[in-house]
């Protein structure tokens, strides 16, 4: 059964009613821009053809009901209370509701919601942002709140940062909101400006997810974060006036870097050069020079491996095999690193057989095959269907 039909079926089974609206939002891939966001630099992401779907209906009763997949619903009476344990996924929709109230949604009555999805959870494809955006779009539709896509991205990020308590950057929600079929999304984290970069439709993105995770991934991530800001302090100590690594040009960095300790110099060099690579990739793609942009994806990986030291043997291996295959334009680790996934940009001629050969070589070396996902560049958040309701609730305009 197609996902939307299954969603409607589950909605009716749970609530004995039809939804008012069905909304969808895609997962995303970090295309290039490794650890650049919190250094105030740019990042490029891709919205992919994997979606979280949400069916939602407003009700007069002041209760909120949530169900995901084929599970029965959980009823919540106080939407300001955070939930724990198995029900904690409900904090994502509650967080969105909370941030929309701050943007003009007048709470009245309650709602019933069902989620269904083909975005794998916790695989680095940002199922959490897709869930937030789909809920955000559904709520905006039924409450008549006319937020732009940018505003929906910001409201959803606020939900994740403040209600859920996960300090993610704007990449996840920005890309899930702003994606356009056949294009990448460029985000300038300095001023939260979004734009799209057309790539054309004859390309695929492949994800090779190792499911390996360094046991200290969280502390290593925050160690890298701290090292970047120690490098900023070090550079200010030799007369520069910068707040973020994005504030220094590659040329100025080259003249100043010998004044930093070796490790800090390497970390900062990765960030400064990665920011430059993101902007060069944008420029090259806008000029249709896709294969040159692909080389920069390989360079990004080498810089993560050698300077930022957030790669692992498994990711390096995948990138090396991909590099040797025809129709692979570029490949790099995607996401925070210390395990996780490799992303490859390929021509359409890169077939599932090639992907299978990568997976089996990897299995030969590491015992387990990676999970392989082929994706297309897709549209961002949207209303899939508005179903005329016989409901008597008036939309509460903000």
Which residues are the active-site residues? Answer: 172
**DSSP per-residue codes, 36-79:** -GGGT-EEEEEEEEEEEEEEEEEESSS-EEEEETTSPPEEES-T
Q: Please report how close the Cβ of residue 222 comes to ligand ADP at its closest, in angstroms.
A: 16
Q: Which does 52 bind (CB under 5 to 8 A by kind): ligand ADP, Mg ion, none?
A: ligand ADP
Would you say the C-alpha torsion 141, 100, 165, 38 has a positive or negative sign?
Answer: positive
Q: Say whether residue 186 binds ligand ADP (CB under 6 A).
A: no
User: In this structure, are residues 155 and 40 in contact, taking their beta carbons and an 8 Å threshold?
Assistant: no
Eight-class DSSP state of 112: E
Q: Please report how close the Cβ of residue 68 comes to ligand ADP at its closest, in angstroms.
A: 3
310 φ/ψ angles, rounded to the nearest 5 degrees: -115, 15
List 39, 67, 128, 176, residue binding Mg ion (CB under 5 A): 128
d(CA 202, CA 5): 29
| Residue number, 120 or 182, with CB nearest to Mg ion | 120
Tokens encoding 109 = 């009555």
Q: Which does 122 bind (CB under 5 to 8 A by kind): ligand ADP, Mg ion, none?
A: ligand ADP
Stretch that binds ligand ADP, among 10-18, 56-64, 117-125, 384-392 (CB under 6 A): 117-125
| Residue number, 122 or 352, with CB nearest to ligand ADP | 122
Q: Which does 265 bind (CB under 5 to 8 A by kind): Mg ion, ligand ADP, none?
A: none
Going residue by residue from 121 to 160, which x/- string records binding to ligand ADP, judged by CB under 6 A? xxxxxxxx--x-----------------------------
User: In this structure, are residues 29 and 334 in contact, taking their beta carbons and an 8 Å threshold?
Assistant: yes
Q: In 287-349, which ranges are continuous DSSP H helix?
A: 290-303, 313-323
Find where tokens 């709470």 sit.
107
| Sheet (strand 371-375) strand order | 328-334, 339-347, 203-213, 371-375
Q: Please report how close the Cβ of residue 245 comes to ligand ADP at its closest, in angstroms.
A: 25
d(CA 281, CA 44): 9
Q: Which does 124 bind (CB under 5 to 8 A by kind): Mg ion, ligand ADP, none?
A: ligand ADP
Q: Say whether residue 115 binds ligand ADP (CB under 6 A).
A: yes
CB within 8 A of 258, min separation 6: which ones? 265
Closest-CA residue to 54 (of 90, 97, 9, 22): 22
Interface size with Mg ion, residues (CB under 5 A): 2
Stretch that binds ligand ADP, among 119-127, 221-229, 274-282, 358-366 (CB under 6 A): 119-127
d(CA 335, CA 373): 15
Q: Say whether residue 92 binds ligand ADP (CB under 6 A).
A: yes
**137 to 196, contacts with Mg ion by CB under 5 A?**
none
**61 to 90, contacts with ligand ADP by CB under 6 A?**
68, 89
Q: Please report how close the Cβ of residue 182 comes to ligand ADP at its closest, in angstroms.
A: 24
d(CA 160, CA 293): 32
Partners of 374 in beta bridges? 206
Stretch that binds ligand ADP, among 101-109, 116-124, 231-239, 278-286 (CB under 6 A): 116-124
| Residue number, 30 or 116, with CB nearest to Mg ion | 30
Tell me which residues touch Mg ion (CB under 5 A).
Answer: 126, 128
Tell me which residues touch ligand ADP (CB under 6 A).
Answer: 52, 68, 89, 92, 115, 117, 121-128, 131
């Amino acid at each position: 059964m197609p996902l939307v039909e299954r969603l409607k079926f589950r909605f009716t089974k749970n609530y004995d009613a039809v939804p008012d609206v069905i909304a969808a939002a895609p997962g995303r891939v970090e295309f290039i821009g490794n650890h650049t966001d919190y250094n105030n630099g740019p990042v490029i992401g891709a919205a992919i053809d994997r979606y979280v779907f949400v069916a939602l209906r407003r009700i007069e009763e002041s209760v909120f009901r949530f169900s995901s997949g084929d599970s029965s619903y959980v009823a919540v009476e106080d939407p300001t209370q955070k939930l724990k344990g198995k029900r904690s996924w409900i904090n994502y929709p509650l967080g969105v509701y909370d941030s929309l109230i701050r943007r003009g949604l007048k709470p009245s009555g309650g709602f019933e919601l069902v989620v269904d999805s083909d975005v794998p959870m916790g695989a680095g494809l940002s199922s959490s942002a897709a869930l937030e955006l789909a809920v955000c779009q559904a709520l905006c539709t039924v409450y008549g709140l006319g937020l732009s896509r940018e505003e929906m991205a910001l409201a959803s990020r606020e939900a994740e940062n403040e209600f859920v308590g996960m300090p993610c950057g704007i990449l996840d929600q920005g890309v899930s909101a702003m994606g356009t079929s056949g294009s990448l999304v460029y985000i300038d984290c300095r001023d939260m400006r979004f734009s799209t970069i057309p790539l054309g439709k004859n390309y695929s993105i492949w994800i090779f997810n190792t499911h390996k995770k360094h046991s200290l991934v969280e502390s290593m991530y925050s160690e890298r974060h701290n090292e970047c800001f120690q490098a900023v302090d070090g550079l200010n100590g030799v007369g520069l006036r910068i707040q973020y690594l994005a504030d220094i040009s590659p040329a100025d960095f080259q003249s100043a870097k010998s004044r930093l300790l070796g490790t800090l110099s390497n970390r900062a060099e990765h960030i400064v050069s990665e920011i430059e690579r993101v902007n060069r990739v944008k420029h090259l793609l806008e000029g249709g020079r896709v294969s040159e942009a692909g080389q920069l994806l390989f360079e990004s990986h080498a810089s993560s491996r050698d300077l930022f030291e957030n790669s692992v043997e498994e990711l390096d291996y995948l990138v090396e095999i991909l590099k040797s295959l025809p129709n692979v334009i570029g490949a790099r680790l995607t996401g925070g690193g210390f395990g996780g996934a490799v992303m490859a940009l390929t021509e359409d001629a890169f077939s599932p057989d090639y992907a299978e050969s990568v997976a089996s070589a990897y299995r030969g070396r590491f015992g387990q095959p990676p999970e392989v996902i082929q994706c297309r560049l897709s549209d961002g958040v949207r209303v899939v269907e508005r179903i005329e309701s016989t409901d008597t609730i008036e939309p509460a305009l903000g």
